[in-house]
Amino acid sequence: MRVLCNICTNSIDDKIFCMQPVLRIVGGGLAGSEAAWQAAERGIHVQLYEMRPAKQTEAHHTEFLGELVCSNSLGSKLKSNGTGLLYQEMELLNSIICRVADRTCVPAGAALAVDRQLFARELTNTLSNHPNIEIIRQEISVIPSGLTIIATGPLTSSSLAKSLQAFHGESNLFFFDAIAPLIAEDSIDHSLTFRGSRYGKGNSPNGDYLNCPMTREQYYRFVEELVKAKQIPLKSFEGEIQTGVDAGPGHFFEGCLPVEEIARRGLNALAFGPLRPVGLRKMVEGTPPYAVVQLRQDNLHNTIYNMVGFQTNLIFPEQQRIFRLIPGLEKAEFVHYGQMHRNTFLFAPTLINQRLQARNRKDLFFAGQLIGIEGYLGNAASGLVAGINAARFLHNEQLVEFPTSTMVGALCHYVSHADRDFFQPMKANFGILAPIIPKIREKQERKAALAERSINEMKMFKGLL
């Protein structure tokens, strides 16, 4: 079928081969959306291919670009945190993900959390209305020819994954990730919970989180039930890609462990982990809680809360039975149960250079979780780099490497240089920044110095773009 390209009105073949110089971006998630915006803002004609809603992934539910599949938090806003620093760098670079997140945020202490529906809808509208962006709802099954960015994320469709595998000549890595449950606000017993943010951080005078305090007895009973609860067999989520390295049941990404897996690591593992009662004790009268489950507002209407750190693979009736043991959640209505999903990424260091350009095909770029970046903002940041460099490629300008003293640059450096034996998805953190020499011993002082250097360098670097 031959149709006209919506932007340049040239004749195109199956909407894949437009005759104008065009940048094709495959995947309209966090990375693909940011890449499209950055390139379009530089005058590039962008065709953004997204397979939803015709073909959904195991975790997405809507047709919106940039849908957040699990937590509604994009991470900390504070410069003293790796994600917070990344956020500030990205704001300097005109990030559309940061801009839309700011417009749709909900109260969440020091974190940048958004109303997920509003966020994704607003992002979709903004990109749809950009004169240089054409959104094409179509699954891409083979790597397109011509200037392309692949940003199809951890749930890349199986046909494209096979094409990527053939191109890369390496096995896909393969592991599992998990989603936390969502609860209806009006089903929470507020007489048993209290409001508060750890260490008083946040915007609301009373604290941004709903906290469910547990006594020692309640906590032990909860853990006892949790560790023996029935789980969904992982086999049913393995998907169609069987050729890659299947890390197998029991192999999880440490940053997103299911709550039952943490519980199995020790009776007090949760009380020292996501349920730690620290920073909240002053807000409770009488005996301090032994553990605290935190609930974070998930939408602007304040009707839905998510269970912080409660990614899980329990079968749904077990989630209902066991999570209702938590004080305040005895009658909890689950708007969405926790789930586990396939999560695919490529071994990036042999695939791409620091400009996120394929090592063996100069007009092909990669971005997002597919290349082993973790976290919503980190993935958007990689889209930003790929979008800028793809635009420069088309303008015949020299491609840029962001300095490794910035969080954006450090992430790109990690995914293009990490050691084969230790390659795991990496989120923004101070450990990947080029160190300051001589080393500052005090941790907070060191972080402050690294953050200041990073922002200053990004301001200077921005002048070169």
Binding-site sequence positions for FAD: 27-32
The residue length of the chain stands at 465
Q: Is 151 in the site for ligand FAD (CB under 6 A)?
A: yes
Stretches 289-297, 314-322, 372-380, 388-396: which one binds ligand FAD (CB under 6 A)? 372-380
Q: From residue 387 to residue 426, what is the string marking binding to ligand FAD with x (rule CB under 6 A)? A: ----------------------------------------
Q: Dihedral through CA 66, CA 67, CA 70, CA 72, nearest 10?
A: 80
Q: From residue 86 to residue 115, what is the string marking binding to ligand FAD with x (rule CB under 6 A)? A: ------------------------------
Q: Is 160 in the site for ligand FAD (CB under 6 A)?
A: yes
Phi, psi (degrees; rounded to nearest 5) at 87: -55, -45
Residue 240 token pair:
């169609």
Q: Is 277 in the site for ligand FAD (CB under 6 A)?
A: no
H or E, element range at 160: helix 158-168
Q: Is 369 in the site for ligand FAD (CB under 6 A)?
A: yes
* Identified binder of ligand FAD from the candidate list 31, 164, 283, 385, rule CB under 6 A: 31
Q: Is 15 in the site for ligand FAD (CB under 6 A)?
A: no
Q: Given the DSSP bridges, would you call strands 364-366 and 148-150 parallel, antiparallel or unpaired?
A: parallel
* Identified binder of ligand FAD from the candidate list 5, 18, 22, 51, rule CB under 6 A: 51
Amino acid type, 110? A
Amino acid type, 42? R
User: Rounded to whole angstroms, how far apart are CA atoms 105 and 221?
Assistant: 36
The minimum distance between CB 289 and ligand FAD, in angstroms, equals 25
Q: Is 213 in the site for ligand FAD (CB under 6 A)?
A: no
User: Rounded to whole angstroms, how far apart are CA atoms 379 and 44?
Assistant: 21
User: Rounded to whole angstroms, how far apart are CA atoms 248 and 1?
Assistant: 43
Spatial neighbors of 372 by CB under 8 A, at least 6 apart, are 345, 346, 347, 348, 415, 418, 423, 424, 425, 426
Q: Is 124 in the site for ligand FAD (CB under 6 A)?
A: no
The CA–CA distances, whole Å, from 197 to 208, 213, 275, 375, 391 equal 6, 13, 13, 22, 42
Q: Is 348 in the site for ligand FAD (CB under 6 A)?
A: no
Which residue in 421, 431, 229, 422 sits closest to 314, CA to CA?
A: 229
Stretches 65-73, 85-93, 241-249, 293-301: which one binds ligand FAD (CB under 6 A)? 65-73
Residue 400 token pair:
């840029």
The minimum distance between CB 418 and ligand FAD, in angstroms, equals 17
Stretches 200-208, 223-231, 258-266, 369-377: which one binds ligand FAD (CB under 6 A)? 369-377
Q: Looking at beta carbons, which residue is closest to ligand FAD?
A: 29
In the complex with ligand FAD, which residue's Cβ is closer, 273 or 288? 273
User: Rounded to whole angstroms, how far apart are CA atoms 27 and 33?
Assistant: 8
* Identified binder of ligand FAD from the candidate list 37, 310, 376, 423, rule CB under 6 A: 376
Q: What's the half-sphere exposure (Cβ side, CA atoms, 13 Å) at 141?
A: 2
Q: Is 140 in the site for ligand FAD (CB under 6 A)?
A: yes
In the complex with ligand FAD, which residue's Cβ is closer, 71 or 294? 71
Amino acid type, 28? G
User: Rounded to whole angstroms, how far apart are CA atoms 256 and 235?
Assistant: 19
Q: Is 368 in the site for ligand FAD (CB under 6 A)?
A: yes
Stretches 69-77, 108-116, 190-198, 447-455: which one binds ligand FAD (CB under 6 A)? 69-77
SS3 217: helix
Residues 288-347, interacting with ligand FAD (CB under 6 A):
341, 343
Which residues make up the interface to ligand FAD (CB under 6 A)? 26-32, 49-52, 57, 59-60, 69-71, 139-140, 151-157, 160, 177, 179, 341, 343, 368-370, 375-376, 379
